[in-house]
Amino acid sequence: MKKQFAVIGLGRFGSSVCKELYKLGHEVLAIDSREEKVNDITRHSTHSVIANGTDEKALQSLGIRNFDYVIVAIGDDIQSSILCTLLLKELGVEKVWVKAQNYYHQRVLEKIGADRIVHPEQDMGIRIAQHIISEKIVDYIELSPDYSIVELIATDKVSNQSLVELNIRALYGCTILGIKRGDDINIAPTPTDRIQQGDILIVIGHKNDLKRFEDEGM
Ligand code: ATP
């Protein structure tokens, strides 16, 4: 279903989020206090507006509370990021995702009710490090300090075997969520589906279990 998003702050992070959501077919309102940033995003958003994210009246007049998600991507100006988040929650926006600049910024955002706090640089650093240390890992998403989703390249060891034969859940406590093969993706693998060499397995589990599966099962 098409969702409505608003992105406030169109630096590298905010504009990337905005462009990708728009490319995926969603309605995106792009907001920045600087005219040149708004002009740059016009082709990549449904609407783009020059407005200050800390101006309560401006947010109200944009009907901000009707958006499914608002992403606050104001980075350097921590005070504005906090005030904007506070206003959005007070105005009744259901899901507010905020880019945090540091640990103290994060703690304040948690206290005022931000629904999700992201650290793009740290998150990307972790993903790249995971990718570098393992030739089998294609991608890595941290869900919590304990749980992750990884994409692993199927090796000889698991090829030509069905999921029931591999018995990954019982042996390693991990679950295969999907199998990518070329441009196709099977998002509901059945026990009889067979893995082919070069498939990419999308696996969820505890980090220790995923590591064990990667080291011993693949
Ligand atoms: P990034 O790290 O994502 O590239 P940046 O370092 O380029 O960001 P930031 O200072 O983090 O820039 O600000 C991101 C954007 O937020 C800028 O385009 C800036 O104009 C905008 N911005 C800052 N304060 C406000 C505000 N109060 N209302 C709306 N937009 C704002």
Cβ–Cβ contacts within 10 Å for residue 132, how many? 9
Kindly give the distance from the C-alpha atom of residue 98 to the centroid of ligand 1, in angstroms, as a whole number.
12
The whole-model pTM stands at 0.74
Average pLDDT, the chain: 92
CATH class of residue range 4-118: alpha beta
**Residue 1: its pLDDT value, please?**
67
Contact by Cβ (8 Å): 149, 174: no
Cβ–Cβ contacts within 10 Å for residue 127, how many? 15
Per residue in 11-35, is it b (16+ CB within 10 Å) or e — as a string?
eebbbebbbebbeeebbbbbbbbee
* Domain coordinates in residue numbering, the chain: 4-118, 123-217
**Ligand 1: lining residues by beta carbon, under 6 Å:** 8-14, 31-34, 37, 52-54, 73-77, 80
**Residue 75: its pLDDT value, please?**
82
For a ligand 1 pocket test, name from 19, 33, 124 the mutation site with the most ligand atoms within 8 angstroms of its C-beta: 33
Which token pair is 75? Answer: 């980075």
Domain topology for 123-217: Alpha-Beta Plaits (3.30.70)
pLDDT in tens, 44-55: 999 999 999 999
Kindly give the distance from the C-alpha atom of residue 70 to the centroid of ligand 1, in angstroms, as a whole number.
15
Residues (pLDDT < 70) of the chain are 1
Spatial CA neighbour of 117 closest among 93, 91, 92, 81: 81
